[in-house]
Amino acid sequence: MGIVSNKLSRRSMLVGTAAGGLLTAATLAQAQKGDPIANGRGGTNPGPMNPARIDQNPDLMVPPVTDSGTLPNLRFSFDDAHMRLTAGGWTRQVTVRELGISTTIAGVNMRLNAGSVRELHWHKAAEWAYMLSGTARITAIDANGRNFVNDVGVGDLWYFPPGIPHSIQGLDPDGTEFLLVFDDGDFDEDNTFLLTDFMKHMPPEVLAKNFGVPASSFASVPEPSQMYIFPAPVPGPLGADKIAGAVEVPQSFSHRMMAQTPIKMKHGSVRITDSKVFPVSKTIAAALVEVEPGGMRELHWHPNADEWQYYISGQARMGVFGASGQARTFDYQANDVGYVPFAMGHYIENTGDTTLRFLEIFKSDYFADVSLNQWLALTPPELVRVSLHADPQLLHAFNKVKSPVVPA
């Protein structure tokens, strides 16, 4: 099996020079044999290999000549994570234990079958979520006893601040799958505060005194191991779960990201959701980026936080510049997590034949990026000319208006 097969069908049309960081025709032909040879460097690969893994990561096998140094791994797939199976669905996580560089953010991918409940619980970390499929009902209360109940669908978000108790339940017809993001890289899904765990570890006489009922009322509380994600009847209409006389939270815990008007460009679009449009989301800002085939998320960096990425669909190539002559290139596909440490310059290129969709997520209350193109356009031209030995064509190409996605 060749290491590039269909995944490099587009890149095979982008044959260029080594200086441009693209695969030459000769390099492509050699790579398809599974040999890491490029421009007179490398050698054959006669020993053991995993063709499927190589095929997913061609820029690790034959990196661009611009790669240099020892930047850490910036990629991990949820498909390589441990899957926890329950009677009501499943869950898996990518934290600092799976992706060592990811110190600020952790992610959980969860599936709830129709009716199944993610047990009533709370966390020390804030919880941000993106709905990947299906529909779900979410509930919560705040510290002032104001409640929240709502249904969410594909592309919707929710955010629960630290310590806010909440629940999630899959709805008809096929439950739900979603991405959870926590503002702590050391987060562990197994260390949440569960309702049944709390009740089981309080003396029955204490529970009786607290609720004003006999201690026998708590004899049937189930074991926490049975209730983490458990099957239950599908709830009725949303209105039936509204609590009579309850005061609703002043700021919604959910947001319809796809209802936002996107920033549109010829080869893609961006939707930015931070506390400006989702006020309750104080520690997580995000952008949903769509890049058409051949397009690229422009060269940029973020001046406020590390970037945690989740790839929803398509194929991508990301090059990251880490200063001091350090740079590495990684390949991504659906269900992969990417990471860019604070202020490191990078691009994300669509290397496939379908639309690339991914999330950029930050531990911050606001989204911010610095465009290399815009910076050079808004710097005195003579200073740029002497800095880059730039010719007039290059100087005139710089754009004063930021374009997050650029064409091929």
Cα–Cα distance measured from residue 91 to residue 114, given in angstroms and rounded to the nearest whole number: 15
Together in a domain, 239 and 302: no
Together in a domain, 177 and 326: no
Q: Which pLDDT does position 24 carry in this prediction?
A: 61
Cα distances (angstroms) measured from residue 138 to each of 28, 92, 144, 252: 49, 20, 18, 11
- Rounded to an integer, the average pLDDT of 18-47 is 70
Together in a domain, 116 and 227: yes
DSSP 344: -
Q: Which helix (H) or strand (E) holds 342?
A: none
At 87 the three-state DSSP class reads coil
Cα–Cα distance measured from residue 251 to residue 268, given in angstroms and rounded to the nearest whole number: 31
Together in a domain, 99 and 204: yes
Exposure b/e, 47-64, CB count within 10 A at least 16 = b = eeeeeeebbbbbbbbbbb
Give domain status of residue 25, yes or no: yes
How does strand 117-122 pair with strand 229-230? Answer: antiparallel
Q: What is the DSSP string of 102-168?
A: --S-EEEEEEE-TT-EEEEEE-SS-EEEEEEEE-EEEEEE-TTS-EEEEEE-TTEEEEE-TT--EEE
Per-residue pLDDT reduced to its tens digit, 193-225: 999 999 999 999 999 999 999 999 999 999 998
At 1 the three-state DSSP class reads coil
- Residue ending a domain, choose from 42, 58, 74: 58
Per-residue pLDDT reduced to its tens digit, 159-198: 999 999 999 999 999 999 999 999 999 999 988 999 999 9
Together in a domain, 269 and 242: no
Cα–Cα distance measured from residue 140 to residue 395, given in angstroms and rounded to the nearest whole number: 54
Together in a domain, 352 and 244: no
Together in a domain, 247 and 278: no
Average pLDDT, rounded, for the chain: 93
Give domain status of residue 66, yes or no: no
Q: Reply yes or no on whether the pLDDT at 14 is more than 80.
A: no
Together in a domain, 296 and 343: yes
One-letter identity of residue 372: L
Q: Reply yes or no on whether the pLDDT at 32 is more than 70.
A: no
Q: Decide if 165 contacts 102 (C-beta within 8 A).
A: no
CATH code at 284?
2.60.120.10
How many domains is the chain partitioned into structurally?
A: 3
Q: Reply yes or no on whether the pLDDT at 33 is more than 70.
A: no
- Residue ending a domain, choose from 199, 230, 255: 255
Give domain status of residue 75, yes or no: no
Cα–Cα distance measured from residue 252 to residue 278, given in angstroms and rounded to the nearest whole number: 8
Together in a domain, 282 and 390: yes
Q: Decide if 362 contacts 286 (C-beta within 8 A).
A: yes
Q: Decide if 102 contacts 185 (C-beta within 8 A).
A: yes
Q: Decide if 94 contacts 182 (C-beta within 8 A).
A: no
Give domain status of residue 39, yes or no: yes
Exposure b/e, 125-134, CB count within 10 A at least 16 = b = bbbbbbbbeb
Cα distances (angstroms) measured from residue 403 to each of 102, 299, 368, 398: 28, 10, 14, 11
Per-residue pLDDT reduced to its tens digit, 339-362: 999 999 999 999 999 999 999 999
Give domain status of residue 133, yes or no: yes
Which domain does 233 fall in, by range?
Answer: 82-255
Place of tokens 């708590």: 218
Give domain status of residue 63, yes or no: no
- Residue ending a domain, choose from 255, 275, 302: 255
Together in a domain, 95 and 241: yes
Q: Which pLDDT does position 38 carry in this prediction?
A: 83
DSSP 52: H
Q: Decide if 54 contacts 3 (C-beta within 8 A).
A: yes
Other beta carbons within 10 Å of 139 = 17
The token duo for 86 is 């329950």
At 271 the three-state DSSP class reads strand
pLDDT tier at 16 (50, 70, 90 boundaries)? very low
Cα distances (angstroms) measured from residue 22 to each of 64, 224, 346, 350: 6, 53, 16, 14
Residues forming the active site: 360
Together in a domain, 87 and 231: yes
SS3 content of the chain, % helix, strand, coil (to 5): 20, 35, 45
Per-residue pLDDT reduced to its tens digit, 124-166: 999 999 999 999 999 999 999 999 999 999 999 999 999 999 9
Cα–Cα distance measured from residue 301 to residue 139, given in angstroms and rounded to the nearest whole number: 36
Q: Decide if 268 contacts 347 (C-beta within 8 A).
A: no
Give domain status of residue 67, yes or no: no
Together in a domain, 246 and 309: no
Give domain status of residue 106, yes or no: yes
